[in-house]
């Protein structure tokens, strides 16, 4: 028999019987999929902020007065000139838009990217732990099944 | 044997066949001793087709419902640009409701032939920048599938209007078709139920007749001996 209670639970996993074990397994799998979803979403958000950083880089001083196609709606573009390459307007959430100059905007986005990165790392650790728990549980289930089939 | 196709020639304007309501199950099947299996299978096939069409139409309708507000916005914008080009009139500041796409501030000069329009445009989801719109007769329309064409202002307005009309009529027909389909699905399901019930009744009658005959013949045998 495997060693009991390597999990943060009071009951030894090895003492649970099969239906309960499959319940626990299902619960773990749900949590795992939820966490993985969150991880994917965070990654997407991070990619978006990174692209914002690139975009800010495009509004360089040398582009002032250059003709650009200005999007007015999703499918309408009008030729225009970049009038203000020093400032950009950043959506800082909850309906607030702040006009920052380029370096401030860059810093803002980089902070966001870093914040997400730390969250991602923590999330990654949690996912790993859950995965390990799940694997351990699966091996217990296996051994129980075997013991059962041998007994019958 | 039941007829080849259960559909009559009736179709709705878009070619969806109408499901016939079967008044007399026996007459439709063609006799009291006919197997119902093929008929039931036909009904199930028809139902599957209807459901598939339903799914398609629902998808199309959702796509259209998304596109239509977008086309409306684009049309309004182009009409506004046209107005500015034409009029030296004082146009009111234009405000975009709902989506936080952009804010437009109008920079009006006294008797300007050049009235640059300052606008904030979207670079990214959370990033906007300022630009000045040139005076131009041409707008660029994104038609999708990596295609963008330039149009003169009046041509753009015509195009957008026709797109909007097409989308709206398409939406209307989709909604009509969806309602029609729902009716036909109900009719088919009722048909299936009726044929099935008729079959159950027939089986029961057969069994009862069989038992009556069986008891009848056994009585004869007793009498015979």
- Domain of B165, in residue numbers: 34-87+137-198
Percentage of chain B with pLDDT > 70?
80
- In Å, how far is A142's CA from the nearest CA of chain B? 42
| C-alpha to C-alpha distance for B82 and B59, rounded to whole angstroms | 35
The pLDDT of residue B149 is 92
Model confidence at A93, pLDDT cuts 50, 70, 90, reads confident
- Report yes or no on B130 lying in a domain: no
Assign residue A42 the CATH number of its domain: 1.10.287.370
Cβ(A42)–Cβ(A114) below 8 Å: no
Beta carbons of A97 and B128 less than 8 Å apart: yes
Residue range A62-85: average pLDDT?
82
Dihedral of alpha carbons A102, A54, B142, B98, sign? negative
Which of the 8 DSSP states describes residue B11? B
Model confidence at B134, pLDDT cuts 50, 70, 90, reads confident
The pLDDT of residue B185 is 92
| C-alpha to C-alpha distance for B223 and A18, rounded to whole angstroms | 66
Backbone angles phi, psi at B177, to 5 degrees: -60, -40
- Report yes or no on B108 lying in a domain: no
pLDDT tens for each residue of B90-119 = 444 444 443 444 444 333 333 344 567 888
Measured between beta carbons, the chain A residues lying within 8 angstroms of B144 are 75
pLDDT higher than 60, residue A1: no
Residue range A65-74: average pLDDT?
83
* C-alpha distances in Å from residue A44, one per residue of A37, A51, A116, B128: 11, 11, 10, 20
- Report yes or no on B12 lying in a domain: no
Q: Which of B124, B128, B139 sits opposite A76 (nearest CB)?
A: B139
Assign residue B57 the CATH number of its domain: 1.10.287.370
pLDDT higher than 60, residue A103: yes
Total of domains in chain A = 1
Residue range B207-225: average pLDDT?
74
Buried b (16+ CB within 10 A) or exposed e, B153-174: bebbbebbeebbeebeebbebb
Q: Which of B10, B23, B16 is nearest to B46 (CA)?
A: B16
The pLDDT of residue A38 is 94
The pLDDT of residue A124 is 94
- Report yes or no on B10 lying in a domain: no
Beta carbons of A79 and B136 less than 8 Å apart: yes
Task: For residue B107, give the 3-state DSSP assignment.
Answer: coil
Total of domains in chain B = 1
| C-alpha to C-alpha distance for B200 and B213, rounded to whole angstroms | 20
Model confidence at B210, pLDDT cuts 50, 70, 90, reads very high
Residue range B31-36: average pLDDT?
79
- Domain of A109, in residue numbers: 19-59+86-143
Model confidence at B121, pLDDT cuts 50, 70, 90, reads confident
Cβ(A102)–Cβ(B130) below 8 Å: no
Q: Classify residue A139 by burial, with Cβ atoms within 10 Å: 0-12, 13-18, 19+.
A: exposed
- Report yes or no on A3 lying in a domain: no
pLDDT higher than 90, residue B18: no
The pLDDT of residue A45 is 92
Residue range B180-191: average pLDDT?
91
**Range from B41-50, B98-107, B178-187 carrying the lowest mean pLDDT:** B98-107
The pLDDT of residue B93 is 45
Q: Which of A69, A72, A88 sits opposite B77 (nearest CB)?
A: A72
Which of the 8 DSSP states describes residue B36? S
| C-alpha to C-alpha distance for B222 and B67, rounded to whole angstroms | 83
The pLDDT of residue B98 is 38
- Report yes or no on B53 lying in a domain: yes
**Range from A106-120, B32-46, B99-113, B117-131 carrying the lowest mean pLDDT:** B99-113
The pLDDT of residue A8 is 53
Model confidence at B8, pLDDT cuts 50, 70, 90, reads low
Model confidence at B5, pLDDT cuts 50, 70, 90, reads low
Beta carbons of B134 and A80 less than 8 Å apart: yes
Beta carbons of B130 and A87 less than 8 Å apart: yes
Q: Which two tokens stand for residue B139?
A: 């707008």
- Report yes or no on A66 lying in a domain: no
pLDDT higher than 70, residue A11: no
The pLDDT of residue B115 is 66
Q: Which of B170, B74, B123, B98 is nearest to A63 (CA)?
A: B123
Dihedral of alpha carbons B37, B41, B44, B50, sign? negative
| C-alpha to C-alpha distance for B214 and B210, rounded to whole angstroms | 6
- In Å, how far is A41's CA from the nearest CA of chain B? 15
Higher pLDDT, B142 or B32: B142
Any idea which residue has 């397994």 for tokens? A25
- Report yes or no on B20 lying in a domain: no
Higher pLDDT, B74 or B101: B74
**Range from A134-143, B8-17, B23-32, B168-177 carrying the lowest mean pLDDT:** B8-17
Q: What is the residue-averaged pLDDT of chain B?
A: 80
């Amino acid at each position: 028999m495997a060693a009991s209670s390597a999990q943060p639970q009071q009951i030894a996993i090895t003492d649970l019987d099969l239906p309960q074990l499959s319940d626990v397994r299902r619960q773990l799998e749900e949590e795992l999929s939820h966490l993985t979803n969150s991880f994917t979403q965070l990654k997407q958000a991070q990619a978006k902020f990174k692209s914002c950083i690139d975009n800010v880089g495009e509004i360089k001083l040398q582009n002032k007065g250059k003709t650009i196609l200005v999007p007015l709606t999703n499918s309408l573009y009008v030729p225009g000139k970049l009038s203000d390459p020093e400032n950009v307007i950043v959506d800082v959430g909850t309906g607030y838009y702040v006009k920052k100059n380029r370096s401030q905007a860059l810093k803002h986005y980089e902070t966001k990217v870093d914040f997400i990165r730390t969250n991602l790392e923590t999330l990654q650790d949690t996912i790993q732990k859950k995965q390990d728990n799940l694997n351990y549980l699966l091996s217990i289930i296996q051994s129980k099944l075997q013991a059962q089939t041998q007994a019958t | 044997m039941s007829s080849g196709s259960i559909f009559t020639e009736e179709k709705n304007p878009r070619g969806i066949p109408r499901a016939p309501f079967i008044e007399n199950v026996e007459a439709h099947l063609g006799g009291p001793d006919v197997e119902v299996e093929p008929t039931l299978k036909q009904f199930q096939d028809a139902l599957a087709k209807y459901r598939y069409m339903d799914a398609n139409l629902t998808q199309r309708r959702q796509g259209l419902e998304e596109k239509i507000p977008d086309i409306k916005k684009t049309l309004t914008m182009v009409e506004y640009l046209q107005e500015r080009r034409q009029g030296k009139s004082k146009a009111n500041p234009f405000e975009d409701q709902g989506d936080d796409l952009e804010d437009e501030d109008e920079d009006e000069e006294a008797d300007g032939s050049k009235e640059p329009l300052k606008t904030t445009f979207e670079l990214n989801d959370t990033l906007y920048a300022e630009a000045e719109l040139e005076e131009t007769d041409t707008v660029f329309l994104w038609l999708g599938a990596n295609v963008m064409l330039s149009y003169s202002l009046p041509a753009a307005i015509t195009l957008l209007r026709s797109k909007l009309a097409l989308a709206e009529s398409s939406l209307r027909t989709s909604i009509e078709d969806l309602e029609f389909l729902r009716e036909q699905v109900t009719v088919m399901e009722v048909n299936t139920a009726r044929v099935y019930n008729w079959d159950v009744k027939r089986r029961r009658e057969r069994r009862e007749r069989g038992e009556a005959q069986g008891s009848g013949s056994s009585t004869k045998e007793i009498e015979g001996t």
